[in-house]
C-alpha cells in the first residue's frame, strides 16, 4: 500500500513539473537570405553600400510577403527570383562564365512541410532556374532534371527560353578573360539562397547559382543536390549553402545540420557551427557558409570565409544586413 501511495505522489509531481516546463518561444515568421561567400577583399565603400542596399531590397521583398501571411515556399522562391534578376550576384543574370565561354546554371527548392524537392542543373536558357526547379517539384514525378531535358520541361511549363547571352555582364566576361590568362583562379563560391519560416510553421529553402567560374566538363556543384546545398524539414531546419560545392556534396552539409539537430538535440547555431567550423574547416578547399532558420524561427549564419553576403529578419523585429 505504501508503495502505491509513493507511486501516485511521484506521478503527480512529474505531471506538475512537466506542466511548468517552458516551451521554446517561436517567431511568427523568419527569413534569411544570402548572396554568396568569398575571401576577404578590399571593397570600395560605394560598392559595399550598393551590395548592402541590394540585400536589403531582396529582404524587403520577403518580409512584405511574410507580413501578408504568404507561405514559406512562395517567399523563398520569389526572393531567389529577385536575386537571379539582379546582375550583381552569381545566379541568373550575372552568372559566371564557363571555360567554354557560356553560362550553365543550377537551382533547387525544397518544401519542409512534405519533404518535396525539385532541382535543375546545367541549364543554359532558363531565365529563372529556380522557377524551373519549382515546376520539377510540383509538376513532375522527379527531383532533378539536367541540361536540355530540363530546358524542354521548363518550356512545357510555360517558361520561355532566353539566349545564353542574356546572363552575361561585362564584369563576368572580364573575369573569364583573367582566368584564361592565369591572372585569376576559378572560384567555386558564389550562390544566392533564401530560407524561410512562415506563420503556419512551414519551412522552405531555395538556392540558385551560376556555379564555379571557369568550370569545365559540365561540372555541377552542391546547389541542386538535395541535402548538400539545399534542405528543408519542418521537424528541424531549412538550410541554403554557398561555398566550395565539392566539399558540400561530400559532407552532405545541409542534411548534416538537420541530422545533428534531430539526432543529437543541437541548436541550429550549434549544428551549423559544428558542420562549418568543425568539419568543413578540416577538409582541403576554401569552404563557404550556410544560412539556416529552424522550426522556431531561430537563425544561424555560419561561414569560414572572409565574407558572406547576407540579410535576415524576424517578426519580433530582428533585422540586418552584413557582408563581413
| pLDDT for the residue numbered 283 | 83
- Tens of pLDDT, residue by residue over 136-171, are 999 999 999 999 999 999 999 999 999 999 999 988
Q: How many CB atoms lie within 10 A of CB 66?
A: 23
In a domain, 3, yes or no: no
In a domain, 67, yes or no: yes
In a domain, 60, yes or no: yes
Query: With bands split at pLDDT 50, 70 and 90, how would you rate the model's confidence at 173?
Result: confident
In a domain, 138, yes or no: yes
Query: Which residue is associated with the grid cell 570600395?
Result: 44
In a domain, 9, yes or no: no
For residue 185, what is its C-alpha cell? 583562379
- Tens of pLDDT, residue by residue over 78-118, are 999 999 999 999 999 999 999 899 999 999 999 999 999 99
End-to-end CA distance of the chain: 67
Domain count for the chain, please give it: 1
In a domain, 85, yes or no: yes
Closest CA to 226 of 126, 133, 131, 109: 109
Query: Containing domain of residue 174, as a range?
Result: 28-322
Query: With bands split at pLDDT 50, 70 and 90, how would you rate the model's confidence at 189?
Result: low
| pLDDT for the residue numbered 207 | 98
CATH for 130:
3.60.20.30
CB 250, CB 243: distance < 8 Å? no
Measured in degrees and rounded to the nearest 5, phi and psi for residue 259 equal -65, -40
Q: Tell me the average pLDDT of the chain.
A: 90
Query: With bands split at pLDDT 50, 70 and 90, how would you rate the model's confidence at 185?
Result: confident
Which residues are known catalytic residues?
191
In a domain, 184, yes or no: yes
In a domain, 12, yes or no: no
Amino acid at each position: 500500500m505504501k508503495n502505491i501511495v509513493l507511486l501516485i505522489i511521484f506521478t503527480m509531481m512529474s505531471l506538475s513539473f512537466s506542466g511548468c516546463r517552458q516551451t521554446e518561444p517561436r517567431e511568427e515568421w523568419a527569413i534569411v537570405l544570402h548572396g554568396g561567400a568569398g575571401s576577404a577583399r578590399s571593397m570600395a565603400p560605394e560598392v559595399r553600400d550598393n551590395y548592402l542596399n541590394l540585400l536589403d531590397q531582396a529582404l524587403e521583398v520577403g518580409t512584405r510577403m511574410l507580413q501578408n501571411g504568404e507561405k514559406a515556399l512562395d517567399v523563398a522562391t520569389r526572393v531567389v527570383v529577385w536575386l537571379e534578376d539582379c546582375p550583381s550576384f552569381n545566379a541568373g543574370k550575372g552568372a559566371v562564365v564557363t571555360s567554354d565561354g557560356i553560362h550553365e546554371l543550377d537551382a533547387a527548392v525544397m518544401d519542409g512541410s512534405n519533404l518535396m524537392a525539385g532541382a535543375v542543373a546545367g541549364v543554359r536558357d532558363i531565365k529563372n532556374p529556380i522557377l524551373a526547379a519549382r515546376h520539377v517539384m510540383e509538376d513532375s514525378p522527379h527531383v532533378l532534371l539536367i541540361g536540355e531535358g530540363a530546358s524542354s520541361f521548363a518550356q512545357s511549363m510555360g517558361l520561355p527560353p532566353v539566349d545564353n547571352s542574356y546572363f552575361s555582364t561585362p564584369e563576368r566576361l572580364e573575369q573569364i578573360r583573367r582566368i584564361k590568362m592565369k591572372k585569376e583562379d576559378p572560384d567555386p563560391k558564389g550562390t544566392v539562397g533564401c530560407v524561410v519560416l512562415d506563420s503556419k510553421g512551414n519551412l522552405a529553402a531555395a538556392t540558385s547559382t551560376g556555379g564555379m567560374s571557369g568550370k569545365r566538363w559540365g561540372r555541377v556543384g552542391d546547389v541542386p543536390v538535395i541535402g548538400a546545398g539545399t534542405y528543408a524539414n519542418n521537424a528541424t531546419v531549412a538550410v541554403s549553402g554557398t561555398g566550395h560545392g565539392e566539399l558540400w556534396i561530400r559532407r552532405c552539409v545541409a542534411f548534416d545540420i538537420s541530422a545533428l539537430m534531430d539526432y543529437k538535440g543541437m541548436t541550429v547555431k550549434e549544428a551549423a557551427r559544428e558542420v562549418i567550423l568543425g568539419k568543413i574547416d578540416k577538409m582541403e578547399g576554401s569552404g563557404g557558409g550556410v544560412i539556416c532558420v529552424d522550426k522556431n524561427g531561430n537563425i544561424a549564419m555560419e561561414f569560414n570565409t572572409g565574407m558572406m553576403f547576407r540579410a535576415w529578419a524576424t517578426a519580433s523585429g530582428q533585422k540586418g544586413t552584413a557582408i563581413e
